[in-house]
Amino acid sequence: MDIRTRRAYDEMAENDGYRVLADRLWPRGVAKEDLELDEWGKEVAPSDDLRKWYDHDTEKWDEFRRRYARELDDCDAADDLAKRAKDGRVTLIYAAKDENHNNAVALRDWLKEKLG
């Protein structure tokens, strides 16, 4: 199991493995062909309501992670992504500026916990 995160605005690495955009919205200013994705994981991204509630407020980070984990627990696409991560490297792509407090980090942590 090798799960990484990378900003959508950073250069792709050849060893990224399976690249999944973990955002519900497309990153501003990035052409679709430039991102070189294997999947746009809209289904594994936080719901619009949760994303708007969190609004990148780090004081809400712990609660955001709890709420997002509950969404992921009920998400078949998240289970599919976990199976893929179990078998090989997955890189979760995100657009947020904060590299430590974003949905890709929360998703990575959820996947690691799920896969033990």
Q: Walk along the chain (116 residues) in steps of 10 and give the mean pLDDT of each run.
A: 94 92 96 92 97 96 98 96 95 97 98 93
A 10 A CB-CB count for 26 gives 15
68 near 92, Cβ under 8 Å? Answer: no
Is residue 81 within 8 A of residue 19, CB to CB? The reply is: no
Token pair belonging to 73: 């627990």
Is-contact 45 81, C-beta < 8 A? no
Q: Which one-letter amino acid corresponds to residue 26?
A: W
Lookup: tokens for 46? 């936080």
Q: pTM here?
A: 0.94
